[in-house]
Structure 1
Amino acid sequence: MNSALNELEHVSLGVMAQVLLHTQALPLQVWRSAGQINQALGTAPRHAWIVRRWLAALARASALREDAERFAWQGAPPKAAVEKLPRLYAELGFPASMAPLHNHVIECLPDLLRDQLALAPLLLQSGDPVAVLGAYQHNHFTAAINQALAARASEVRAHRDVLRVLELGGGGACTTHTVLTTLQAREKVYRFTDISALFTGAAQRQFRLEPGMHFGLLDLDQDFAEQGIEARSQDLVIAGNVLHNAHDLPRSLGQIRACLREGGSLLFSESIADNPAMLTFMHLLLSPPAGAPLRETDEAFIAPDAWRQALQAQGFQLLEVWPAATDPLAAAGQRLFHAVGVS
């Protein structure tokens, strides 16, 4: 799997190089700053951070030289061997739809960066929106993270016999399915939430016969109590690859802490670094909406030590980060975090 992951990264670096060369945003033997490159490409301001992350990734891979915040090609730029995508995605455990979907996005990247096309409608042309938007979560690495999360969820003790679980940003219910399978024998009240009725409706259809299930909308950036989540009411909060979407992370973590009983657990998965493949694909969805304030930082994800500090500041103790950096599963850049509320 790690060999396929490395190959996919190289293909994605080649895609970045292809866009920068073919649009003449960064020609050969020319030095340009990130601002000049975005201007030459015609990047919409809200997507400019994506191109800056491309430049950082290409520089890390020694494809670009950097001097005084300007960039130039170093040697032959990497090739965009997109014909490898079907094999690589299959080896990584993704559904068969992933490769043609990514390839379609690659073909449209200049127009997407210029806001002449929008990614969400483009993706939704490919079929069922829940399946399409959740496809990138179905892979061997995320499956391992979800299995580990579910195993730890099964060890959480209920405060009053019935385990009360709140899932945030449930999306395509990839995490939900694994956790419910593991908790099948437990008496529970499980509240599946998402910001979109598209996902809560799909989850309700999928899990309607599961005892103890409830479904509702919830916005990470709004007051939880005003959305029906009472203070100190939950034994466990689950968030699968969603907390990076919080506009004000300290506030959102504070809301989570407030809804947990003393000693309750927060289990969440997150990427801890850029993924070059997603930088030419799904990360475009992380750009702010048109007309909204621009991102304060180009970093979409934060490192484990930063998570530890953020959690501690809001009344959590971080018990575990899994897998360890030396574990082969760590290569995908995903981690499971287990924190508990403390006084």
Structure 2
Amino acid sequence: MTSAPLAEALSTLPEVGAWQVVPGSTGDTLLVAGPADGAVDDAVHAEDEKAVAAAAASGDAAVTGTDLTELPPLMRLLDETALLTMARVLDRTRLFRTHAGRTAADVVTALGTAPRHAWIVRRWLRTLTAEGRLGHDPATGHYRELTAPDRAEYARARRTLDEARDGMGYPESMTRFFLAAADRLPLLLQDRTSLHEVLFPQGETDTAEGNYRDSAQSRWANHAAAELIAHEARRREGGGRPLRVLEAGAGVGGTTEAVLSALGSTPVDYLFTDVSRFFLQAARARFGTQPGLRRALFDINADPVAQGLTPASHDVILAANVLHNARHVGRALAALRELLAPDGLLVLVESCREHYQALTSMYLLMSPHPDEERWFTDLRAGQDRVFLTEAEWAGQLDAAGFRPLPVLPPAGHPLTDLGQHVVAGRPRPGHGRPDPDRVARALAQLPGATRPVRVHAVDRVPSITTSGATS
């Protein structure tokens, strides 16, 4: 909540034109922006136009031999199976075997859903309604008349998983993962078992690697992102130092592998980071002999400087399939911008479309932690969703002071509908951005309960859909 002392202190700083308090489990973050000024020229530079074109060509080359027009129908097969799985799990509660209307809360309770996973059940209800498989009365909020598959129909649908999985380039282990997750869904929703145990059986990472590396859409995105970074390395040749790369949330290293391959013999100082030691240990085994590669823990939801990272210390920051986990995307982007050199490059790989199969599997990894009081506090607040659209990413980059590059794959590309995109940007020159240290010093005398623990400067305070501390 906004405090009067904080508002009063900020009002004495003419360089602060707008601000927003972002709550966090370890303390509040203050985002500050300068007074509004003229329009910023965000035209893509000629060199970046070449890089984007080369990245798209590299993505296409990575899926040579794959009929990309077949992929959307195959994805629909996966989604159809997931819809039947949702309906079958809901039908087993017996709530919809009468004509009585049921609320989302009724369904969450009947399933014994852990509070942190309740959003997933609400997404199921909305999805089944949108697909015409569940009735909904907007006036009362009641759901009724569920269309559920019988045992034979469900068995046939499960048999199509292998066809769809193989056609999309996933390994065989993905079929086992989808089926195992579907069979355990009631227990997973109740937190009586963990999806980690299903995704990483005996600590193996093959299934996760297949998801983030082997599918056609992942291959395309990883190689396009890798070419953007390789192009940046070529642009900086002769600078007298290695290319300084920070990869945030590197996970199983699916994108890392493509980037290191694209960089070839380019000297690098590559910091591979993740919030989990499990992935750092896996990276040690996988990339242990790679020259210039270091490993470290890094949490995108915490202050990077407090974690030992230095402002303006990286030429490239890469975050593949991780930044949607930021509790406040604007805050996370502002923090990453402070770590990036003034002429550096930010490269994101992000899913910008919801797939139903994820609603019965991977989404369980994206629920808030059991001890989290809040989940997303940005534009997704209260919406029961994880992913941002391409336009939303561009807006968030712009608000955090980046000049967005064209999103890849380009409009009209056969892979666009699958939703996996490369989103990149460069820092814009500052336009009256406040000095975070000066702001922090001005707030130093405030009572501890009203004083933010960190301050980030942005070009524009990002908008949110719920009431926020914005001035």
Specify the TM-score bucket, using the shorter chain as the normaliser: over 0.9
* 277-286 vs 322-331, which moves further: 322-331
Question: Are the equivalent residues in 2 in contact too, given 1:232–1:262 (CA < 8 A)?
Answer: yes
Query: Given the alignment of the two structures, is residue 158 of structure 1 paired with residue 236 of structure 2, yes or no?
Result: yes
Letter in 2 for 1:237: I
Aligned to 2:176: 100
Aligned to 2:142: 70
Instruction: Report the CA distance between 1:167 and its aligned residue.
Output: 0.5
Q: Distance in 1 between matches of 2:325 and 2:122?
A: 19
Q: Which runs of 5+ in 2 are unaligned?
A: 1-70, 376-380, 430-471
Indicate the SS of the match to 1:42: coil
Aligned to 1:148: 224
Question: Are the equivalent residues in 2 in contact too, given 1:220–1:246 (CA < 8 A)?
Answer: yes
* 53-62 vs 128-137, which moves further: 128-137
Matches within 5 A, 1:1-343: 1-27=71-97, 29-68=99-138, 69-73=141-145, 79-80=153-154, 81-124=157-200, 126-137=201-212, 138-156=214-232, 157-158=235-236, 160-161=239-240, 162-293=242-373, 295=375, 296-297=381-382, 298-343=384-429
Indicate the SS of the match to 1:321: coil
Question: Are the equivalent residues in 1 in contact too, given 2:87–2:146 (CA < 8 A)?
Answer: no
Indicate the SS of the match to 2:303: coil
Q: TM-score, normalised by structure 1?
A: 0.93
Q: Distance in 2 between matches of 1:324 and 1:32?
A: 43
Name the CA shift for 1:123/1:182 in 2 (closer, same or farther; >3 Å).
Answer: closer
Instruction: Report the CA distance between 1:147 and its aligned residue.
Output: 0.9
Q: Which runs of 5+ in 1 are unaligned?
A: none
Q: Distance in 2 between matches of 1:117 and 1:166?
A: 34
Letter in 1 for 2:416: A
Question: Are the equivalent residues in 1 in contact too, given 2:248–2:317 (CA < 8 A)?
Answer: yes
Name the CA shift for 1:45/1:268 in 2 (closer, same or farther; >3 Å).
Answer: same
Residues 104-124 of structure 1: CA deviation (Å, up to 9, x unaligned): 111111121122222223444
Letter in 1 for 2:206: A
The higher radius of gyration belongs to: 2
Aligned to 2:39: none
Aligned CA-pair RMSD: 1.9
Aligned to 2:52: none
Indicate the SS of the match to 2:258: helix
Question: Are the equivalent residues in 2 in contact too, given 1:158–1:164 (CA < 8 A)?
Answer: no
Q: TM-score, normalised by structure 2?
A: 0.69
Residues 237-276 of structure 1: CA deviation (Å, up to 9, x unaligned): 0011000111232221111100111121111111112210
Question: Are the equivalent residues in 2 in contact too, given 1:173–1:203 (CA < 8 A)?
Answer: yes
Instruction: Report the CA distance between 1:28 and its aligned residue.
Output: 5.7
Q: Distance in 2 between matches of 1:74 and 1:215?
A: 49
Q: Distance in 1 between matches of 2:98 and 2:229?
A: 52
Letter in 2 for 1:130: T
- Which one has more relative contact order, counting CA pairs under 8 Å at least 6 apart? 2
Instruction: Give the count of matched residue pairs.
Output: 342
